[in-house]
Amino acid sequence: MFRDLMLEDIFTLQEKGPHTFIDVRSPKEFNEATIPGSINIPVFDDEERAEIGTLYKHNGQEVAMERGLEVFSEKLPDFIRAFKLIKTPMTVFCWRGGMRSKTAATVLDLMGIHTTRLSGGIRSYRQWIVHELEKENFPPNFIVLNGYTGTGKTEILKRLANNGYPVIDFEHIAGHRGSIFGQIGLEPSNQKKFDSLLVRELERFKTEQYVFIEGESRRIGKVSLPQFIYEKKEIGMQIVIQLPLEERVKIVLADYEPWNNPERFKEAFQLIKKRLHTPIAKEIETHLENGEFAWVVELLLEHYYDPRYKHSGYQNTDIQKVDIDAKNIEDAFQKVLHTIEREQLRLGVIASEF
């Protein structure tokens, strides 16, 4: 017989060794929010869940359960095979620790596959996430990469992470690049998913002396940073990167690849068109129609993004601010490293720790 475990019990098991969470909800529910690192082996797909939910609403629980059993029976062999591929201890969960996870755990037990079930389902995990964020406790200082759009801040964060420095990439976990075109080619997170991924990163780096982040507004696409994280970012050490315009255009083009989604870029441009002088807006539209994306990017940087960045510049003169004037992204990365090496004594950090 399977056992129900509290979330804290499962965290303890994870500390002892590999442990797999299996979300048995529908793919749509799974994609909206899940426990980070979980895999999805659904009892019902999206259409089946909708059908059974409609039956429950209009015909009652018994009719819905009979149809659910019929649907699940047909897919049972594939369901069991998927679980047999998992070689670690496992825990199944659904939304509230209800019928779907109970059915999955019971069937697996009958087939000799040992599993536990998360008591309270993913709702209990969400409550834990909210509680963790309410603590407003993250000791490390932030070192914040700032600069005009296209100065390679995200790429520099990646290089820092690859070199062993602690990095939290808010845009990555938000699934958004922080601009009007930010979600093109990405899968944006909702707030629940963002919060879950953020808590995992905060837990991962909570004992560091400092963490690198990018200078973001509080809102990134569809999600918002917790207020205490945003305030901590505002008082962190600010590194401001400056690159030549032509280099920034190259970086933006490489990051967004607008030729792969030209229609979506045209649609997104309509959202900011009224904020530009009419002649500039018309010129951008002409270049968009002709596929001349380098000109589009240059005009947007000069006439939209750069003025907005200047307007939002830091007014607090007490913040430690370091300007980096670089030729290209590699030069900027090396100068960021040099800046940190120079500042490590002041921060009380020993470079060998990293």
Condensed to tens digits (0 to 9), the pLDDT of residues 9-18 reads 988 988 889 9
- Give CA–CA dist 333/254, Å, rounded: 17
- Give CA–CA dist 195/93, Å, rounded: 19
Question: Which residue in 148, 147, 331, 150 sits closest to 253, CA to CA?
Answer: 150
Instruction: Determine which of 24-28, 184-188, 338-342 has the lowest per-residue pLDDT on average.
Output: 184-188
Q: Is the pLDDT of residue 316 over 80?
A: no
* Residue 69 CB-half CA count within 13 A: 6
In this prediction, residue 32 carries a pLDDT of 92
Instruction: Determine which of 48-57, 115-124, 303-312, 329-338 has the lowest per-residue pLDDT on average.
Output: 303-312
**Among 66-70, 253-257, 271-275, the range of highest mean pLDDT:** 66-70
Mean pLDDT value across residues 58-82:
94
Share of the chain above pLDDT 70, in %: 92
- Give CA–CA dist 115/2, Å, rounded: 6
Q: Is the pLDDT of residue 2 over 70?
A: yes
In this prediction, residue 137 carries a pLDDT of 94
In this prediction, residue 82 carries a pLDDT of 97
Q: Is the pLDDT of residue 188 over 60?
A: yes
Mean pLDDT of the chain: 90
Question: Which residue in 60, 61, 131, 133 sits closest to 99, CA to CA?
Answer: 61
Mean pLDDT value across residues 197-214:
96
In this prediction, residue 134 carries a pLDDT of 96
Q: What are phi and psi of 287, to 5 degrees?
A: -65, -35
